[in-house]
Structure 1
Amino acid sequence: MPDTCTSPPSPTPLPERFFQRDARELAVALLGKVIRRRLDGQWLAARIIETEAYLLEERGSHASLGFTQARRALFMPPGTIYMYYARGGDSMNCSAQGEGCGVLLKSGYPVVDAVSPNSSLARMQQLNPQRNGESRKPERLCAGQTLLCRSLDIRVPDWNAQGFNADTLLIEDDGYHPEQVIQAARLGIPSGRDEHLPYRWVDAAYAAHCTRNPLGRSRKPGHDYHLLEHGTALRSAVSGALPCSQA
């Protein structure tokens, strides 16, 4: 007889070396990876579908304002969690190669699988209901940096300047990789703070479910965004420029 009491498989965290790369390349590499948070014995999970990169030397980054205890995670080894409050909610980042550089986990999409079954999705909906108390639709649960953290119960006091760990909070590769990646300017950067830099990346398959759809009706390809093959996006990310055939 089959064993009906078999425990679900344990997720495997990304190795430390994964994070030891330029923030722009890391932002692309993180697309499609799954962030898992263990809460009361359940693994809550979301696929990362949107990221933004921040470099020490550009004016849109927190680190450009200087070192503080609150921002210390950005100056710690790659893969350190950097948390801060955005519009009253928790926001999650991780440090990259080079002091002061990091990647914002901008939005995600709930994952239901052998590790994180339907009961985990239900728990995420309990953690992040709509303002009227009703359940959010799965596709809107993690559609923004604060919604992502709320759905996974990831909070600034608990996780800032901490490392990922195999027991409670990790990012893993479940074998999925985006076919196409959208590259565009970051969202919410004040005027005069390098708001033009194309350091936002979105998994094209999930564009409708990220913070703001970069493929919206008013958006023009080649002007407001560029659609790249995943490998091309990885290769061109570090330069911050787009390949000539796509520009």
Structure 2
Amino acid sequence: MTERRLLDRSVLQGDSPDVAPQLLGTILQRPDEGTAVRIIEVEAYDEDDPASHTFRGRTPRNAVMFGPAGHAYVYFTYGMHWCTNVVTGPDGHGQAVLLRAAEVVEGQAVMRARRGDRVRDRDLLRGPARLASALGIDGALGGVDLLDPSSPVQLAADGHEPPVVAAGPRVGVRLAANRPWRFWIDGHPLVSRYVRHRRADEQGGAPEPS
């Protein structure tokens, strides 16, 4: 197996829709506990996108999305779930890529202990909240530099063959619902099921979570 190396920050400094497919096949790892997953599904969000947290400008909650690239934007949603994003783009432009689903590389026992015995293997990391839960990612890790060798959560590459990428609308997004900014490894069995928001593209209301 090729040795893992932290991703180069330059890979993440493009616009989120361009960076997002490049994250497929990369490794999100927690060296402190020996867990690692391979990213298989992502979604891009940008400040010019009405579905993004940054659409209405910088706030204390979304400030990390305005850069620098390579940091983690971790947010709480529905009063019960954490979700993990990788910040992209140049400093000052609010954008990030949501990590939607992954497959286990190592440390399944640790992740299984967090998720519980009743969870099916296919659902262990299928969905952004499940992914964050399995890796123990919460608000305390918001803002960490994923490319820092001393970080408790890191984004790395291991020479994995570039996957065949598919693209389509984002899951459960109400505004800009038809924008094809969800990317996944084509044919992978652990990719999320696409669910269209029941009020997709209606006017008004707050932006959807990024």
Q: TM range, normalised to the smaller chain?
A: 0.7 to 0.9
Q: Does 1:94 align with 2:86?
A: yes
> 3-state DSSP class of the match of 2:161?
coil
Match of 1:161 among 143, 153, 178: 143
Partner of 2:61: 70
Q: Does 1:189 align with 2:180?
A: no
Q: Identical aligned pairs, as a percentage? A: 25
The equivalent residue for 2:198 is none
Q: Residues 80-114 of structure 1: CA distance to partner in whole angstroms, max 9, x if unpaired?
A: 211101232110001111411111011111113xx
Q: 1:95 is matched by which residue type in structure 2?
A: V
Mapped partners of 1:70, 1:89: distance in 2 = 16
SS of residue in 2 equivalent to 1:97: coil
Q: What does residue range 143-222 of structure 1 map to in structure 2 within 5 Å? A: 143-156=126-139, 158-164=140-146, 165-167=148-150, 168-190=152-174, 193-206=175-188, 208-212=189-193
Aligned to 2:111: 124
In the alignment, structure 2 segments of 5+ residues that lack a partner are 196-210
**Map of 2:73 onto structure 1:** 82
CA distance in 1, matches of 2:168, 2:101: 15
Matched letter for residue 52 of structure 1? E
Higher relative contact order (CA closer than 8 Å, sequence separation 6+): 2
Q: Once the two structures are superposed, what CA deviation does each residue of 1:172-216 show, in whole Å capped at 9, x if it has no partner? A: 1111134321110001111xx21110000010142x2122169xx
Equivalent residues in 2 for 1:2-151, closer than 5 Å:
11-39=4-32, 42-87=33-78, 88-98=80-90, 99-112=93-106, 120-129=107-116, 134-151=117-134
1:21 Cα deviation after fit: 1.2
Once the 2 structures are TM-superposed, how far is the Cα of residue 66 of structure 1 from its aligned partner?
Answer: 1.8
What is the CA distance between 1:43 and its match in structure 2?
Answer: 1.7
How many Å separate the matches in 2 of 1:100 and 1:145? Answer: 20
TM-score (norm 1): 0.72
Q: C-alpha displacement at 1:135, in angstroms?
A: 4.6
Contact 2:3 2:158 in 1 (8 A): no
- Alignment partner of 1:46: what SS? strand
Are the aligned partners of 1:23 and 1:96 in contact in 2 as well (CA < 8 Å)? yes
Q: Distance in 2 between matches of 1:182 and 1:10?
A: 27
CA contact (8 A) 2:171 2:194 kept: no
Q: Which is higher, the Rg of structure 1 or of structure 2?
A: 1
1 CA distance for matches of 2:104 and 2:144?
A: 23
**Aligned residue pair count:** 189
Unaligned runs of at least 5 residues, structure 1 = 1-8, 113-119, 215-247
Q: Of Structure 1 and Structure 2, which has the larger fraction of its residues in helix? A: 1
Which whole-Å CA distance do the structure 1 matches of 2:172 and 2:194 have between them?
A: 14
Contact 2:102 2:125 in 1 (8 A): yes
Aligned CA-pair RMSD:
1.9
What is the TM-score of this pair, normalised by structure 2?
Answer: 0.83
